[in-house]
């Protein structure tokens, strides 16, 4: 058993999804190597080497790898994958973009959003917006998979892995990075925050969403949203929680003006404590909320902000 983790980073820091991937790999047992592909990765390699459970950090540096586009990263991973039984990525947009491309290049299938490692070939994963859990067995010689961050805690630091340059060629590809609009925020990261306050269509407008942010800041929370709130332009796309957005499982999730569609529940129903604030006492969100408060969010949010 030998696992290769394809690390996600932004050129500066290793991302949390990779720490969850390390935890999933340690459940398999065997050696754990981390592939760090980028333009210049010395600093991040040091961070990866300090992650507990990692045996080796393999670096591949090339200017073409700067924006970690799948067309460049996947072939690099494929060249190294021959030595491994498993390739694991976090189920972030980075992992989802790259893992299937690696799998297809290796001629194997890919297993998405694993939430439990049963044994080296068998895994549990949610299907149908989390309304069913499938146990699947892969008969491929190499298992390529993504793992859900809410199911595998981030690995600790305290390791001291060896850092080695790996040799792989980066092929040419007919794609160019044009630009990025990165959402800057001092708030905690949505996927790893202890508290998440999410607003839905009921919040009403972009201006009124300030009330959601205020409560979040008072609680030191991250801010999420329903699809309807994102589609309405209240907040950017990277705040969408749900089946087709981000998966969160904080100790406290506060849903404000969110009805509770199955697609939204898929992304937050594993939270430890759920609070729903909604003016409609019949809203489905109350069926899964530990504490429900029926009323107008425009009155409730300011009162909460002043009292917590």
Return the closest-CA partner of residue 224 out of 232, 213, 233, 214. 213
**CB proximity list for 98: less than 8 A, separation 6 or greater:** 6, 68, 70, 73, 74, 77, 89
168 binds other proteins (CB under 8 A): no
Q: Which of 59, 138, 192, 243 binds ligand FAD (CB under 6 A)?
A: 243
Residue 297 interacts, among ligand FAD, other proteins, none and using kind-specific CB cut-offs from 5 to 8 Å, with ligand FAD
Question: How far apart are alpha carbons 139 and 146 in whole angstroms?
Answer: 17
CB of 247 to other proteins, least distance (A): 11
Segment 177 to 236, residues that bind other proteins, using CB under 8 A: 177-183, 191, 195, 219, 227, 230-231, 236
Q: Which of 13, 40, 160, 273 binds other proteins (CB under 8 A)?
A: 273
Question: Is 144 or 241 the residue whose CB approaches ligand FAD more closely?
Answer: 241
Kindly report the backbone phi and psi dihedral angles of residue 235, in degrees, each rounded to the nearest multiple of 5, phi listed first.
-145, 160
Tokens 């504490």 -> residue:
291
CB-side neighbour CA atoms (13 Å) of 168: 28
Token pair belonging to 232: 């309405």
Is residue 172 within 8 Å of residue 69, measured between CB atoms?
A: no
For strands 116-117 and 122-127, give the pairing. Answer: antiparallel
Q: Name the segment binding ligand FAD (CB under 6 A); options: 81-89, 91-99, 182-190, 290-298.
A: 290-298
Q: Quick one: 39 or 127, whose CB is closer to other proteins?
A: 127
Please tell me whether residue 298 binds ligand FAD under the rule CB under 6 A: yes
130 binding other proteins? (CB under 8 A): yes
Among 94, 152, 209, 234, binds other proteins (CB under 8 A): 94
Give the rounded distance of the alpha carbon of 199 from its chain centre. Answer: 20
| Residue 211 contacts which entry, ligand FAD, other proteins, none (Cβ below 5-8 A, type-dependent) | none
User: 34 contacts which partner out of other proteins, ligand FAD, none, CB within 5 to 8 A by kind?
Assistant: none
């Amino acid at each position: 058993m030998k696992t290769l983790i394809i690390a996600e980073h932004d050129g500066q820091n290793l991302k949390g999804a990779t720490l969850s991937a390390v935890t999933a790999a340690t459940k398999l047992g065997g050696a754990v190597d981390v592939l760090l592909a980028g333009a210049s990765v010395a600093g991040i390699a040091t961070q990866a080497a300090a992650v507990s459970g990692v045996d080796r950090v393999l670096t591949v540096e090339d200017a073409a790898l700067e924006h970690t586009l799948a067309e460049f990263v996947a072939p690099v991973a494929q060249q190294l994958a021959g030595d491994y039984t498993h390739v694991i990525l976090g189920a972030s947009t980075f992992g989802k973009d790259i893992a299937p491309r690696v799998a297809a290049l290796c001629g194997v299938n890919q297993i998405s959003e694993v939430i439990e490692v049963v044994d080296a070939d068998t895994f549990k994963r949610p299907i149908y917006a989390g309304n069913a859990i499938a146990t699947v067995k892969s008969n491929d010689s190499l298992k390529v998979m993504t793992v859900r961050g809410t199911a595998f805690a981030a690995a600790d630091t305290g390791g001291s892995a060896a850092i080695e340059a790996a040799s792989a060629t980066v092929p040419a590809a007919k794609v160019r990075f044009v630009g990025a609009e990165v959402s800057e925020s001092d708030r905690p990261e949505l996927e790893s925050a202890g508290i998440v306050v999410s607003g839905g269509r009921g919040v009403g407008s972009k201006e009124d969403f300030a009330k959601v942010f205020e409560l979040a800041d008072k609680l030191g929370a991250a801010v999420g949203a329903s699809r309807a709130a994102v589609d309405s332009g209240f907040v950017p796309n990277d705040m969408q929680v749900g089946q087709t957005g981000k998966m969160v499982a904080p100790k406290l999730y506060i849903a404000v003006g969110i009805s509770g569609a199955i697609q939204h529940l898929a992304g937050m129903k594993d939270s430890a404590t759920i609070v729903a604030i909604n003016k409609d006492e019949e809203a489905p969100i109350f069926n899964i909320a530990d504490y429900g408060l029926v009323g107008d969010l425009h009155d409730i949010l300011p009162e909460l902000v002043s009292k917590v």
